[in-house]
Chain A
Amino acid sequence: MTVANHQALKAVFQRIREQADQRKTADTDGAVPKITIGMATCGIAAGAIETKQTFEQALAERRVEAQIYTVGCIGHCYAEPVVIIDHPDSGFAPIFYHNVTAGKAKMLVRQFLIEGDPCFEHIYGAMETNEMIPSVTEFDRFNQEVRVVMEKCGHINPEEIDDYLVSGGYSGLAQALQMAPEDIVAAIQHAGLRGRGGAGFSTGRKWALAREAESLEKVVICNADEGDPGAYMDRTIIESNPHQVLEGMAICARAVGAHQGIIYVRAEYPLAVKIMTRAIAQAETMGILGRHIFETDFNFRIKLFQGSGAFVCGEETGMIRSIEGYRGMPQHRPPYPVVNGLKGQPTVINNVKTLACVPPIIEKGYSWFRSIGTEESPGTAIFSVVGDVVHAGLVEIPMGVTLRELIFDICGGIPNQKAFKAVQIGGPSGGCLPAAFLDTPIDFDSLTQAGAMMGSGGMVVMDEDTCVADVSRYFLDFTQNESCGKCTFCRIGTRHLLDILERITKGEGQDDDLQRLQDLSLDIKKGSLCGLGKTAPNPILTSIRYFKEDYDAHLKEGRCPGLVCRPLIAYYIDLDKCARGCDACVGCCPTNAVFTTSTRKKGIDQQLCVKCGECVVACPPEYDAVRKVSPPHLVPAIERPAQPENAEDA
């Protein structure tokens, strides 16, 4: 491209941006209060639609003028539905409210928007530093994050391309189009960007291979087939800022010489599909995607493909088979997709987060990216931190932060004064780490060394009431269900692993079961065809390494230390604490297992009890009479009276 062309491209981009700016300014009336509501799937699940409707209704009823602005997710799932109110006339900085139910919404309209009282008791924090309200920027949950991928998530309306443009979007693409493709690849290589979807392969290296591959047609695929049952960052990114992903894909296409792109989104993510479809259409209409991008000779079309729900399609070759219309069974590699991929064409497959890292790298330069994170793992990591943790949600941190800092400082630690027991990282391909590993820095190599893996970014924090054997059983159940069935080791081997774990968690384990688990696990790792099989035994191997005592308790004593495995626990009612005549537990029992003793207290019929734990919840805290024990024979014998006292009622 010549210098004159560069000038033309800059002018075109400038024009597109200015037009977006004008439309936005026309839309927003500066003086009116602005109510921002998080409306990604998690927010909606927590009731954001109802919250939004209530705001609309209340504003209409009371004839208050305000603008409702919907955004994606800012990552604070524990606080959903999240609302930020910017009411300039009130004199307060924009305020973050959490758990805004319909009732709170009504109250905020009345008290804050009309009367100017921001309802201090419901404030989470102010969005900016100010003198009246503590600002969220002082909270660990906010100030330790570094946002590269999620910078705009929760701040822009994902359904409007103008929002993305106005906040600086697509300037990375405009810049990339003024660079030689080799230089784009070189920039990504210098940045040290590693694939965010699992093993951490060098993205620049992948692009270089695809660039070198000789072919008229090449393909860029964005892998949004997030299958790890506890990770949802890819979905959230698409629902909150789809254009950054599209921009990354376009830059990649330019770098490797591709003209077609496919974004593979799980059909189980209907909102992500809807938002992404709209984003592609908007970008095409504005000449940012499609033919003659920014009026240059660069063409790149993106189509959306809905994945039909098979975990194994997250594997590159499985995904390609599935797009081609076959059973998504992985194939032997090599040949790698970068050489021989979709319909035989060289194909780059990158994860959503990897692609979303690309525009900022091009825009701000690779040394900026390298300044974040560690030498070997530059940039940030995104985790969905869930389980027994105070501030569950999505967190983006620089690589190198320790697990302790992430779990205890940023996410607020373990609730209910319980002790930390384990953290599971990397989902079904990852592993469980104990407290001794809390000072492990979070980066690709350190986690792999410890026996877990970065994987997809799922992180489940578990407190002392967790059974690690049960967690292993859960993950094996998952992989076993999701095995494609092609190769012997994964199809049948994981079934045997699951079977052994099932009998251990039922207290029916055999003496050499641990040895058997380990031997078979190692063979499956070596013998399986694809990455799913090769990593499926990881949860078992790490948990036996670090939590052998949990397995031993099940095997040798028939006891579940975390009081989780239902065949090994029992509930009873402590007669010293049970209140005479109280019926709280009776009504809640789904199987009528609670009976009244001769002293008009309560007992549990062990034959009928399904160990759901409802009675524990129902028992008023002042009595706190329901006990849970393992092994079950520790339950004191409480006779059920032969004749029910209230026989006449029956």
Chain B
Amino acid sequence: MPTITVNGQSIEAQSGMSLLQACLEKGIFIPNLCYLKAMTEPPASCRLCFVEIEGQPDPVAACTITVADGLVVSTDTSAVRQLQRTALQLLLSVHDIDCKNCPANKQCALQDLAKFLKVPLKNKPTETYLREPAIDETHPHLTYYPNRCILCGKCIYVCQTRHGQSSLSFAKRGFDTVISFYGALEIDQQACDDCQQCAQVCPVGALVMKSG
């Protein structure tokens, strides 16, 4: 088993495991949003799980590093925190901050990270840039709030894993990227009804089961 040093503390990790997973399992918290333990190829898209590794000039995403014997890692340097805070501020700048009326209130990943990284939820210099607040109601069971979504892709991953192919997908590109239900009316409604995993995995209340 490879032994690595994290913040001066020596820990043993399972070989083949990602650095992020190894740290999380030993109770060393590294902010992350798009990572699920079961993923073999994490998307590395949220850009929060930065750490510094001795010998590398810039912080790297811990989910992309496979543990190797002798890695010396710091999770709490100023360079790491700087990037994490900027990434979180960017996500918050396009997030509809209306916690009172959000089902994810008090169990929201963004709230947790804001507390951890000491970033205010509303931030003056990075004003908010919301998309058109078009809420997608086309799915028979789900409602999608693009202005809450952080595009972590966990919903697509769980749907894909559970059903072999996902009835959710990223659609469009760039700043306009959304989760799409395109063609949802044609899918097996019963399967969706019994599953609900996508709504459960959503860390920010962007995918919500329609009540009733």
Contacts and interface: CB of A to CB of B under 8 A. Distances in A.
Q: Do chains A and B touch in the complex (CB under 8 A)?
A: yes
Interface of A: 310, 327, 331-332, 480-489, 491-493, 495-496, 499, 512, 516, 520, 523, 526-529
Contacts of B172: 485
A484 B86 contact: no
B104 interface: no
B47 to A, nearest CB: 5
B58 A526 contact: yes
A320 B93 CA distance: 32
A528 B173 contact: no
Contacts of B43: 486
Given A487-B45, A488-B45, A512-B125, 7 more contacts: A332-B61, A480-B175, A487-B47, A492-B93, A523-B86, A527-B47, A528-B47
Contacts of B83: 523, 526-527
Nearest to B83: A527
Contacts of A493: 86, 90
Contacts of B48: 488
B175 A491 contact: yes
Interface in B16-66: 41, 43-48, 50, 58-59, 61, 64
Given A486-B45, A489-B47, A526-B59, A496 B174 contact: no
A480 B177 CA distance: 12
A493 B44 CA distance: 16
Interface in B161-179: 170, 172-177
Central interface residue in A489, A512, A526, by most chain B CB within 10 Å: A526
B64 A332 contact: yes
A484 B173 contact: yes
A528 B41 CA distance: 18
B32 to A, nearest CB: 12
Interface size range on B against A = 20 to 34
Contacts of A492: 90-91, 93-94, 129, 175
A231 to B, nearest CB: 21
B87 interface: yes
Contacts of A486: 43, 45, 151, 177
For chain B, what secondary structure do more than half of its interface residues adopt (helix, strand, loop), or is it mixed? loop
Contacts of B176: 485
Interface of B: 41, 43-48, 50, 58-59, 61, 64, 82-83, 86-87, 90-91, 93-94, 125-126, 129, 151, 170, 172-177
A485 B46 contact: no
Nearest to A495: B175
A526 B173 CA distance: 22
B18 to A, nearest CB: 11
A485 B86 contact: no
A485 B179 CA distance: 12
Contacts of A523: 82-83, 86
A434 B177 CA distance: 37
A491 B151 contact: yes
A390 B22 CA distance: 61
Contact of A491 (B64, B86, B174): B174
Nearest to A533: B47
A484 B126 contact: no
16 contacts: A310-B173, A331-B41, A482-B174, A486-B43, A486-B45, A488-B45, A491-B151, A492-B93, A492-B175, A495-B129, A495-B175, A496-B126, A523-B82, A523-B86, A526-B58, A527-B87
Nearest to A523: B86
A527 B151 CA distance: 17
A484 B90 CA distance: 16
Contacts of B44: 331-332, 487, 529
Given A488-B90, A523-B82, A526-B58, A483 B45 contact: no
Contacts of B90: 488-489, 492-493, 496
A481 B83 CA distance: 23
B177 A491 contact: yes
A527 B50 contact: yes
Nearest to B178: A485
Contact of B174 (A481, A489, A529): A481
Contact of B47 (A310, A331, A482, A488): A488
Nearest to A333: B64
Contacts of A487: 44-47
